[in-house]
Amino acid sequence: KAQVNVLEIDAVGGKTQINKNIYGQFAEHLGRCIYDGIWVGKDSPIPNVNGYRKDLLEALQALKVPVLRWPGGCFADTYHWKNGIGPLADRPKIKNVFWGGTVEDNSFGTNEFLNLCEMLGCDPYISANVGSGTVGEMVDWIEYMTSDDDVPMVQLRKKNGREKPWNVKFIGIGNESWGCGGDMTPEFYSDLMRQYSNYAKMYGGDKFQRIGCGSNGGDFNWTKVLMEKGRNNMDGLSLHYYTIAGEGWNNKSAATGFGEDLYFSGLKKALYMDELVSKHSAIMDQYDKDKRVDLLVDEWGIWTDVELGTNPGHLFQQNSMRDALIASSTLDIMNKHSDRVKMANIAQVVNVLQAMILTKGDKMILTPTYQVFKMYNVHQDATLLPSNLICEPYKLGNDQIPAISSSASVDKNGKIHVSISNLNPSKEIKLEINLSGKGFAKINSGTILTAAAVNTVNTFEKPETIVPTAFKNAKKLTDNKLEVSIPGKSLVVLELE
């Protein structure tokens, strides 16, 4: 007997806002993310706006990036911000010790980053240096960025051509302090976090959301200790989790040319995010039942082997239809956990890991993952609609995952958006959608992203192989019911009204 796939959506029972920052991005000084990515410099033959690559800037503006995290990653705990301000000739160089040993000229620093955020209309999320920095250095940075008083750091900012402070809301107190950010124990780090946080608050006032460094994937003890010792000293706690489709860190597997086994394992490992977030949230609930402390998944995405012939320390990887489905199903998970998860930052925005954009000389590709973020931005700041999905499994060998991932929201104009991914690579799936509590008048629009194969990618020669197109296979059955047929390996976003 054929399985009936049903998605029940409570159209009037929504309570939680999907924080737009769940659609956040991350830009680290790593490989070609900043240099030869976002920043080509004013003298570059590549068209640019004051040094920012023009085509890329426009693509990011179209994406509606809500928040951008910088300068790392591991790099953040080696970064001394004063080396990245003032006249270029006076800026000392820095060796990027974590990422390929590349020597950078510091031409992209605080002013360049914060001006970029203004051009994108997004909130900056600064990751402060706790590993090799000092409290004083962080306090000076905060003063330079946010103060309007007649104090030395503000005078310095004005001398550097910026009169008014920038609007900085988020400050991360260290990055991966359990690893590259200082190799600390949770007990030691919580004490340090309390100390740094204390001064971040004092100088930044209430404007700051102070983000404690959270756990490495399933290290639940880290979350427990941080909540036990530091919950009153932070407004958010982060979590990092990367999807490795292959056997592990030493055999991550390639971003292209993979078969169904690595497609399946990539998705299965990405879906583990649901369990991770549930478990970390449950620990946080024990100490913070009112959910004052946010959970921020400020690094996530698929991490594969680098493209052949590229610097292994630069983490440059291609991006396939599989990765688009990893993005869509992960964003569904974040949407559904939006009572606790208030930000997520995919790694990374350009030329690194699961990137939105890849560049090569003057050429640029919008990846399938970019298209997912663009299709999904309708969920930004909308109200999550409770939903219940009954669906068939997608089986491979003795293993299985749900064949469908979905989430739904209603925006401030009353438009309902439903995102649905069919993870089965080869089977078209019929799904019945029932809206309870409210009828809808029409299916406004539908968009689909799909590809010839799960490992299909956009290349510099054929950059528009995977692009969204109109979706026509949605049929209204009654005022409360519709039926959609979703091809294998595809994702759809519907707008109902």
Judged by the rule CB under 6 A, the positions of this chain that interact with ligand AHR are: 28, 72-74, 175-176, 299, 347-348, 353
Which tokens in the block code for residue 178? 């359990």
Helix (H) or strand (E) holding 91: none
420, β-bridge pairs:
406, 492
From the CB of 234, what's the least distance to ligand AHR, in Å? 18
What's the chain's Rg over C-alpha atoms? 22
Helical ranges in 180-336 per DSSP H = 186-204, 220-230, 260-287, 321-336
From the CB of 353, what's the least distance to ligand AHR, in Å? 6
Omega before residue 186 within 30° of 0, cis? no
The closest alpha carbon to 421, from 429, 433, 412, belongs to 429
- Which residue's CB comes closest to ligand AHR? 73
Return the number of the residue (157 or 240) whose C-beta is nearest ligand AHR.
Answer: 240
Q: Distance between CA atoms of 135 and 180, rounded to whole angstroms?
A: 19
Return the number of the residue (28 or 294) whose C-beta is nearest ligand AHR.
Answer: 28
Catalytic residues: 176, 299
CA angle 443/12/422 to nearest 5° reads 50
Q: Distance between CA atoms of 468 and 366, rounded to whole angstroms?
A: 11
Q: Are 446 and 470 in contact (CB under 8 A)?
A: yes
Return the number of the residue (349 or 493) whose C-beta is nearest ligand AHR.
Answer: 349
Helix (H) or strand (E) holding 159: helix 152-159
Return the number of the residue (355 or 391) whose C-beta is nearest ligand AHR.
Answer: 355
From the CB of 75, what's the least distance to ligand AHR, in Å? 6
From the CB of 175, what's the least distance to ligand AHR, in Å? 5
Helix (H) or strand (E) holding 74: none
From the CB of 180, what's the least distance to ligand AHR, in Å? 6
Return the number of the residue (353 or 401) whose C-beta is nearest ligand AHR.
Answer: 353
Q: Are 238 and 214 in contact (CB under 8 A)?
A: yes
Q: Distance between CA atoms of 483 and 430, rounded to whole angstroms?
A: 7
Return the number of the residue (237 or 466) whose C-beta is nearest ligand AHR.
Answer: 237
Q: Are 18 and 409 in contact (CB under 8 A)?
A: yes
3-state secondary structure of 345: strand
